Amino acid sequence: MLVDYADILTRLEQALGRAYAETPSILNVPGASAALKLDPFYYLALRPLFHELLGKWAAVPPGRVEETLARTGNLVLGPGKARFTRPLSVFEEATGTRLQLTADFVPASCIDRAVTLYGGSPGPLPVSGLRLAADQRPELDAFFAETTPLAALCFGKAPRA
């Protein structure tokens, strides 16, 4: 049986847009959201929360959500087609609160398309106040070696834990 990933992706985007229209805090609110925009090109999607919620909203198993995003180019995979496996050190710019998160990178075009087409947003969401600790940049640059790198604005000097 062939899997129609384009159809599943459309269902995922529609479900994400509807969920965003109902509860905008699911995106881009540090400490409360399943995905946060890091720079104009990427969102940081908490793993497994983002995939589980998206699956629930679209009635698609979380494993199929991940497979669909990966196969359609809407989940960033590094060299060897692997996910970034190490926890990321992040902090909220406004409060300095530092956390270690396991997350995936999702191209902004996917989430922004969902919120504008199906979520009632007048345009793409702005960059959030979440920043990646700058000491991870070499490792992340290596991960993004085969695609558009993360913008400098998503990195910052994290406060001491």
Report if residue 53 sits inside a domain: yes
The pLDDT, as a whole number, for residue 161 is 56
Mean pLDDT of 15-31: 96
Report if residue 139 sits inside a domain: yes
The pLDDT, as a whole number, for residue 49 is 97
For residue 114, give its domain range: 5-156
Encode pLDDT of 86-107 as tens digits: 999 999 988 888 999 999 999 9
Mean pLDDT of 125-139: 96
The pLDDT, as a whole number, for residue 94 is 83
| Residue 133 · residue 92 · CB < 8 Å | no
Q: How far apart are CA 29 and CA 3, in angstroms?
A: 34
Contacts of 65-73 with CB under 8 Å at 24 or more apart are: 65/12, 67/5, 68/5, 68/8, 68/9, 68/12, 69/9, 69/12, 69/106, 69/110, 71/5, 72/5, 72/6, 72/9, 73/107
What pTM does this model have?
A: 0.94
Encode pLDDT of 142-154 as tens digits: 999 989 999 999 9
Report if residue 125 sits inside a domain: yes
Report if residue 161 sits inside a domain: no
The pLDDT, as a whole number, for residue 59 is 97
Number of structural domains in the chain:
1
Mean confidence (pLDDT) of the chain: 94
Q: How far apart are CA 57 and CA 60, in angstroms?
A: 8
Mean pLDDT of 117-139: 96
For the cut 80, the answer to whether the pLDDT of residue 32 exceeds it is yes
